[in-house]
Amino acid sequence: MKNRRDFLRNTFGLGAGLAAAPRLFAASQESGGSIDMQHMGHANQRSSGIVSVETPDVPHLPWHMAGGAKEFHLIAEPVKQELMPGKVVNLWGYNGSAPGPTIQVNQGDRVRIIVDNHLPEPTSMHWHGFEIPVDMDGAPGSSQDPIPPGGRFVYEFTLHQAGTFFYHSHMAMQEMMGMIGTFIMHPKKAYDPPVDKDFAIILQEYAILPNNPIPNSMNMEFNWLAFNGKAGPATTPLIVRLNDRVRLRLINLGMDHHPIHLHGHTFVVTGTEGGRQPKTTWGPKNTVLVGVAEAADVEFVANNPGDWMIHCHLPHHMMNQMSSVVGPMTRRSNGLPAGLGMEEGMGILREGHATSEDKGPSLGRGMGVGSTRDQTLGNGPLSAQQAKQSTDNMPGMQHDGMQMGGAPEVAKDANSVPGFPQDAFMEGPAMAMDKMVEKPESYGLRPGWSGFMQGMMTFLRVLPPDMYDKFMALREQQKGKPEPMQGMEHPHHG
Ligand SMILES: [Cu+2]
């Protein structure tokens, strides 16, 4: 079994750091204090059959008991979200995060959530799918007045349901700025069969021009696709033990439906946004279409060791920062035949905006007029030097952490093949940034892996138990330390 041996060798070949890590295996749950089980040992959790839900890259929301209810505090506010190293964008979220922090409660809990509005405009919080009194539903204008800027609304209700739920702003365009969070209701009695690992991932999409750190919530050309607020390769891989039973909860709030595909395993859909589904409905699948406003719970036994991709299968959702006709422009370095330069073509405008009447049509971003322009572009000659010159001229492309040296392999006659290039410069060794996204969960991945992971993508890493323990020990050690971002340390070039 060559693959398995390679996998183990790559994983073990981490050098002394990992091998020497003390085996101080501890419960792997993020801090959070959001469910009663936080005080239980790992063994107890496993025997009860209910485990804390992990939301990689998103914090948990703590609570305390007050007046007979679990009290949570959410602040709606503008946030700076780093989609991937160097790509910080202005979103709106909760408590400094978009998506907002994860809430976990138990079926039957009395819950109070204090929502403060630190946004510059009114907002309202909706509890998606909750069977609660209408005055707690958060429908602005009908069940309550919108919460004004600087205002507060206190939501309180008893939860009799169980399953994968979420909260979100009920102002439509605010939803497209990131305002959603996971809300897990654990059942009184564990589901059958119980799982060993339980993860939740929120699917989001943004349209962000290269020169603009603010999403255009009106635009339908989504070019940043995120799992829990991170785009691949910055997403944190899911780490499980070989033969663990794993639940993955997927939540979608955007403008697209996402077919989420898991490599190497077969799962069953055990739940939706409405709760647990009867076993009679469980058929084998490896892709689940998560529609807008839906959730899907899938479960499987991680019986296949290795590093397996989990990703949205829409090809454009496996990309970062797709922009109109960027390929030919960067390769020719002389702009568009429409008479505009490369920067304008990429939306890097010094005045006006890319969808304006005079520029939009030339750039294929207009309402249809002249947008066939980019269909007529041919592929120019490519030399390694031209390519390098072009990318060097692009802001943000000179980070030393990026492995720009690894030129993609192309055939000698590549330029004479109609359709070339497709992935040669979008996805491949030239875009790798292993070091910039390095974290315990990514240790031991195949060198250059990050160049092939973009958009809605992450890994399921199925590890033998001893390896799993080492990863968890490493993760414990890393807690509280700043994220390694070697790629962003700019040396002085004088
Ligand atoms: Cu998708």
Distance 306 CA to ligand 1 centre (A): 24
Distance 204 CA to ligand 1 centre (A): 9
Q: What is the pLDDT of residue 375?
A: 35
Distance 231 CA to ligand 1 centre (A): 12
Distance 61 CA to ligand 1 centre (A): 27
Q: What is the pLDDT of residue 101?
A: 98
Q: At what angle do helices 2-12 and 465-478 cross, to 10 degrees?
A: 30
Long-range contact pairs involving 127-131 (C-beta distance under 8 Å, separation at least 24): 127/155, 127/157, 127/165, 127/167, 127/183, 128/165, 128/166, 128/167, 128/168, 128/183, 128/273, 128/293, 129/161, 129/165, 129/273, 129/274, 130/157, 130/159, 130/161, 130/165, 131/160, 131/161
Residue type, 223: N
As a whole number of angstroms, the distance between CA 286 and CA 233 comes to 22
The answer to whether residues 70 and 111 touch, using CB atoms and an 8 Å cutoff, is yes
Distance 317 CA to ligand 1 centre (A): 5
SS3 219: coil
Distance 67 CA to ligand 1 centre (A): 43
Distance 120 CA to ligand 1 centre (A): 30
Using CA atoms in the order 439, 440, 443, 448, what is the torsion angle rounded to 10 degrees? -20
Distance 89 CA to ligand 1 centre (A): 20
Nearest to 438 by CA among 426, 450, 420, 451: 450
Distance 188 CA to ligand 1 centre (A): 33
pLDDT (tens, 9 = 90+) of the chain, 494 residues, equals 344 444 444 443 433 333 333 222 223 333 334 344 443 334 345 457 799 999 999 999 999 999 999 999 999 999 999 999 989 999 999 999 999 999 999 999 999 999 999 999 999 999 999 999 999 999 999 999 999 999 999 999 999 999 999 999 999 999 999 999 999 999 999 999 999 999 999 999 999 887 789 998 888 889 999 999 999 999 999 999 999 999 999 999 999 999 999 999 999 999 999 999 999 999 999 999 999 999 999 999 999 999 999 999 999 899 888 765 544 445 544 444 455 666 665 556 777 766 666 666 555 544 333 333 343 333 333 445 555 554 454 434 434 445 544 567 788 888 888 777 777 766 666 678 899 999 989 989 999 899 899 999 999 999 999 999 998 898 888 776 654 433 333 333 32
Residue type, 487: G
Rg (CA), the chain: 24
Distance 225 CA to ligand 1 centre (A): 7
Q: Cα angle at 237 between 89 and 83, to 5 degrees?
A: 5
Distance 322 CA to ligand 1 centre (A): 14
- Tokens representing 264? 């190497």
Distance 313 CA to ligand 1 centre (A): 6
Distance 431 CA to ligand 1 centre (A): 21
Distance 239 CA to ligand 1 centre (A): 23
Q: What is the pLDDT of residue 385?
A: 56
Distance 152 CA to ligand 1 centre (A): 35
235 secondary structure, DSSP code: S
Distance 356 CA to ligand 1 centre (A): 28
pTM for the predicted model, two decimal places: 0.77
Distance 456 CA to ligand 1 centre (A): 7
Distance 232 CA to ligand 1 centre (A): 13
The answer to whether residues 286 and 262 touch, using CB atoms and an 8 Å cutoff, is yes
Distance 297 CA to ligand 1 centre (A): 17
Distance 224 CA to ligand 1 centre (A): 10
Distance 257 CA to ligand 1 centre (A): 6
Residue type, 69: A
The answer to whether residues 220 and 255 touch, using CB atoms and an 8 Å cutoff, is yes
- Tokens representing 313? 């299968």
Distance 259 CA to ligand 1 centre (A): 6
Distance 253 CA to ligand 1 centre (A): 11
CB atoms within 10 A of CB 424: 18
Query: Could you write out the DSSP letters of every residue in 77-133?
Result: EEEEEEEETTEEEEEEEETTBSSEEEEEEETT-EEEEEEEE-SSS-B-EEEET----
SS3 383: coil
Distance 474 CA to ligand 1 centre (A): 32
Distance 468 CA to ligand 1 centre (A): 30
Distance 255 CA to ligand 1 centre (A): 10
Quick one: how many helices (H) and strands (E) in the chain? Answer: 9, 20
- Tokens representing 279? 């076993």
Distance 346 CA to ligand 1 centre (A): 23
The answer to whether residues 146 and 115 touch, using CB atoms and an 8 Å cutoff, is no
Distance 223 CA to ligand 1 centre (A): 11
Using CA atoms in the order 261, 237, 84, 250, what is the torsion angle rounded to 10 degrees? 40
Q: What is the pLDDT of residue 402?
A: 52
Distance 279 CA to ligand 1 centre (A): 27
Residue 415: what are its φ and ψ, rounded to 5°?
Answer: -70, -15
User: For the chain, first and last CA: distance in Å?
Assistant: 51
**Beta 110-117 vs 69-84: how paired, if at all?**
parallel
Distance 438 CA to ligand 1 centre (A): 25
Distance 314 CA to ligand 1 centre (A): 5
Q: Cα angle at 312 between 311 and 313, to 5 degrees?
A: 105
